[in-house]
Structure 1
Amino acid sequence: MARNTAGLLTPAQRHLVTRFGYGVDATLAEDVRRAGGASAWFELQLTRPGAFPDGAAEGVRRWWPDLDRGPAELWKRQVEEVRGGWEVMEDYGRWLLVRRIRTRRPVLEKMAEFWEAMLHVPVSGDAQFTWRVDYGDTVRRHALGRFDELLAATTTHPAMLIFLSGATSTKRAPNENLGRELLELHTLGTGNYDEDDVKASARILTGHHVDLWETWKASYVEEDHYRGRVKVRGFSARNAKADGRRVTKEYLHYLAHHPDTAHHVCERLATKFVRDDPPQSLVRRLAKVYLRNDTAIVPVLQALVASKEFRTSAGDKLRDPSEDVVATYRALGVEVGRPRSGDSGANAILWQASGLGLSPHAWPRPDGTPVRNDVWASPARALGSMSMHWSMAGGWWPTAELDYRTPSAWVPAKKPIRFADLVDEVSRDLLHRPASKHLVETACLATGCGRKEKIDREHGLYQWGFPRLLAAVLDSPDHLAC
């Protein structure tokens, strides 16, 4: 990643690209300028992501070959103790993190992450891991499409069926897990259904099957499908045929277009991208856009970003653990190389996220990775972030297959620079914003340098103390908040 040497983005531009990205670096800033501003950049990201060549991000998948193995092969390798499912899923998390560091299509990545968290299948699990990478790929394909199509693709996906017991649910013993979470977490929301709705929902979804512990093939078994009239809220069907897939399709279409689903989806979007307590007036406006556009996601995001509530929310959100790790790599300009040893940076990055509280999609419950600040605003998380920032500011860990920048990137070779000016230079580089008065004061306290003190390459700050300055910048709200 290149250094931020060109003019800074405006605060409004930085707010947009930071909220829908993983940290501003020189490449992102240049993409924004070439697009004609942040709004034009965002529009291209939504409607023509191919306008931003992303080979550097796409190529990293080859670093972890297990991600492209089929379910049966993955299971065979686990049984034969060649490689466990948990190891494959760790590679999946690593791939996501490195992809986010490198991507020029952050809006697509951000929305893939958002939906993968809302329509959640944890990466842990001896059964669903076989299909989990394919599930993530499925979500990414629909991330900027229509929610009704995304819902249909994920609800009947083998990973979801396995995780929520839909793969073994039959007319004789319908399992309610998938039917319930579909209503509560994926569509209508808590309190908008009753137990009769759950029972009918589970019956509608019977027939979908995965051959667990053997071939892992997905199929539809007609003799396992419940037949008979079903009713969920305003949806009803005779459901008389042995093949219930058409009824399932119509049912999921109904749920995706329900006003309660529109509210549920838009409230989560507003909580993630605006603030923890989004005004209900905003949620209602977004829900109208969602329904008016046949559940299309792009118009909702356009309306969200155009809202006054979004424009005035800069700094109101806190980066979650994975976002903090990715943003730190991007801010410091750390180049991540292909892993060639167990302790390589590309492998260790997952341990860094786990150390802060959560690696990608490892949240154990069906409700998915939280999008509220309060979950991540704990003293333990703050201390974990500070520890991670400190180790990376000094380039101490991780080190293998990583390329860190040195203090010479900021301290001139000949002419000394005032400390306050140096802090401003570092802030502009790492955070793409001028140093605030508070940041300069914090940097003075962290390093023991005075505002007007002259810094050159013979100074102790350059020789051994520079990590204190970098860590002070990374520990600031200007980095942790977005």
Structure 2
Amino acid sequence: MTREAPALGSEDAVVHLARRASWGATPELVAEISAVGRVAWVDAQLNPASVPDAATTDLVASTWPRLRLATWEVHDTYYPSSTGDLGTDVIQAYLARALWSKRQLLEVLVDFWTNHLVVTAPWGDAWDAVHRFHVDVVRAHALGRYADMLVAAAKHPAMLNQLDNGSSTKRSPNENFGRELLELHTVGPGAYPESDVRRSALVLTGLSTDRESGEYYYRHIRHHTGPLSVMDWSDPNASAFGEKVADSYLVHLARHPRTAATIARKLAVRFVSDDPPSALVDRLAQVYLANDTRIAPVVRTLLLSSEFGGSVGQKVKRPLENMVSTARVLGVRPGPATTSWLGDLVWNAKVAGQQPMGWPAPNGFPDVAGAWAGAGTTLAAWNWHMGQGWEATSSTPRVAYPALRGLLPAVVPSTYGALVDALATRLLLAPLPTAKRDAVCAFLDKTPEAAVRSTDAVLGWRLPYVVALVLDSPEFATR
């Protein structure tokens, strides 16, 4: 039974949900949640088809049409030319959805699974299929059964090439996929002996790709036959046509209590805290098992839990999230050169250490504060804040920015303290602490009590700097 989140004050609880269940809270999102209530909003988001999102769908379809290509069509059109790497397209489309989709909880979970079942882009071994992996595996199953997602991933050419299973044979099994399947994708380290890694790899022999088309192809001639056991799973494995044996193994792992704990803890880390309460993790794992690995009931239980409600201020945004949330709160919309602007977003995220889909290891970008505590990471985010302010005031912006003056009330506050409070409330959805508000006023060489005049620079050329300074605050860096 779900424990409802405590009443933080309905407004605070809505803001908290908006920050955690989206790529960045905005006044519009807070108003949307407030209008329908938190429970109804979560339920709608967990059923993405019920949330109209035609503008984003049309944008992705028209801007990145190559994403519709099947892997064999990519081979037929581009192979062996490197221009066929669709990694840039899939990264930009993923960011466009994070920025502008109305299905924000889905996009947060797409990011979560992208960092759980890792396929790198661009310029990787999955150059020809990473776009289809994102659509057919991650997006298709992000809120469905994890067992279905795991089987789909194991039979996808992108994952098979990423972890070298495409070349694995009964005589020379490659242990990469067999190991990561156990250690990262399912039961986690310590749940199995080292000898199980080889047996795991043997189960998966035969799952391969067709060289000419790049598509998934089961090569029975490569499949190891003979009895196999991994942990508490076993099979006679008598036939070379062992695809169903692999399916049985994958589904068994997905349903394993240790896998339930792995997924539950990772979701709790994403949505609650860097070290989530064990009681919450246990409860989420039970929901996962009771619902045959379905993710939506787990997420619903999590977002309506008392632990979630009590976790305000316990998560820090990763660099990419900081940059995307900046654009969201400023009201950035697609414009005449959207792909160029998205390219700059990717480059700045790379400078900060989080190039989308670019984590070099198979365990995905970390989601704990300590991993992002460096000065370089902070400076990169601050530079992005300032750059957005400059572009917003440019005569030729690449994307559409509302006027920065619109971030302030129509009737300008009478004092500098009130003006900074109003700007912070618009950007952070809450005022700054008094000491930080006063520091912003000092940056403007004013006291909080000083009167604001219509000719003051804060309403003109200095406004982008003040906006950036508010966005540089720890309060904005908090998820």
Q: After TM superposition, is the score higher than 0.5?
A: yes
Question: Which residue is 1:253 aligned to?
Answer: 251
* Residue 22 of structure 2 is aligned to residue 25 of structure 1: no
Question: Which residue is 1:281 aligned to?
Answer: 279
Quick one: distance in 1 between partners of 2:468 and 2:250? 49
CA shift, 1:326, in A, is 0.8
Question: Which residue is 1:11 aligned to?
Answer: 12
Whether the aligned pair in 2 keeps the contact of 1:270 and 1:283 (CA below 8 Å) is yes
Pick one of 96, 114, 117 that aligns with 2:112.
114
Map residues 183-194 of structure 1 onto 2, 5 A cutoff.
183-194=182-193
CA shift, 1:300, in A, is 1.4
Question: Which residue is 1:3 aligned to?
Answer: none
Gaps of 5+ in 1: 1-7
- Report % sequence identity: 35
**CA offset digits 1:185-237 (Å, max 9, x no partner):** 0001012112221111111111112123x321321121111111000000000
Question: Which residue is 2:42 aligned to?
Answer: 42
Map residues 276-315 of structure 1 onto 2, 5 A cutoff.
276-315=274-313
Residues 1:33 and 1:107: Cα distance change in structure 2 (over 3 Å): same
Whether the aligned pair in 2 keeps the contact of 1:118 and 1:368 (CA below 8 Å) is yes
Whether the aligned pair in 2 keeps the contact of 1:32 and 1:38 (CA below 8 Å) is yes
Whether the aligned pair in 1 keeps the contact of 2:408 and 2:422 (CA below 8 Å) is no
- Secondary structure at the aligned position of 2:187 is classed as coil
Residues 1:448 and 1:177: Cα distance change in structure 2 (over 3 Å): same
Map residues 62-461 of structure 1 onto 2, 5 A cutoff.
62-75=62-75, 81=81, 83=83, 85=85, 88-137=86-135, 138-212=137-211, 214-339=212-337, 344-395=340-391, 400-410=397-407, 417-461=414-458
Corresponding letter in the other structure for 1:465:
R
CA shift, 1:410, in A, is 4.2
Map residues 457-476 of structure 1 onto 2, 5 A cutoff.
457-476=454-473
Residues 1:397 and 1:100: Cα distance change in structure 2 (over 3 Å): farther
Whether the aligned pair in 1 keeps the contact of 2:412 and 2:419 (CA below 8 Å) is no
CA shift, 1:121, in A, is 1.1
Quick one: distance in 2 between partners of 1:313 and 1:378? 24
Quick one: distance in 1 between partners of 2:393 and 2:97? 20
- Secondary structure at the aligned position of 1:402 is classed as coil
Comparing 430-439 and 231-240, the one that deviates more: 430-439
Corresponding letter in the other structure for 1:460:
A
Question: Which residue is 1:4 aligned to?
Answer: none
Quick one: distance in 1 between partners of 2:399 and 2:10? 28
**CA offset digits 1:430-473 (Å, max 9, x no partner):** 22223432331232133222212222431121232112210121
RMSD: 2.2
Comparing 366-375 and 184-193, the one that deviates more: 366-375
Whether the aligned pair in 2 keeps the contact of 1:457 and 1:463 (CA below 8 Å) is no
Corresponding letter in the other structure for 1:319:
K
**CA offset digits 1:70-105 (Å, max 9, x no partner):** 3344346655757252xx312321211121110111
Residues 1:59 and 1:349: Cα distance change in structure 2 (over 3 Å): farther
**CA offset digits 1:148-187 (Å, max 9, x no partner):** 1111111221111011111111112111110010000000
- Secondary structure at the aligned position of 1:173 is classed as coil
Comparing 288-297 and 223-232, the one that deviates more: 288-297
Quick one: distance in 2 between partners of 1:431 and 1:414? 20
Whether the aligned pair in 2 keeps the contact of 1:321 and 1:358 (CA below 8 Å) is yes
Whether the aligned pair in 1 keeps the contact of 2:88 and 2:122 (CA below 8 Å) is no
Quick one: distance in 2 between partners of 1:227 and 1:128? 28
Gaps of 5+ in 2: 1-8
Whether the aligned pair in 2 keeps the contact of 1:21 and 1:110 (CA below 8 Å) is yes
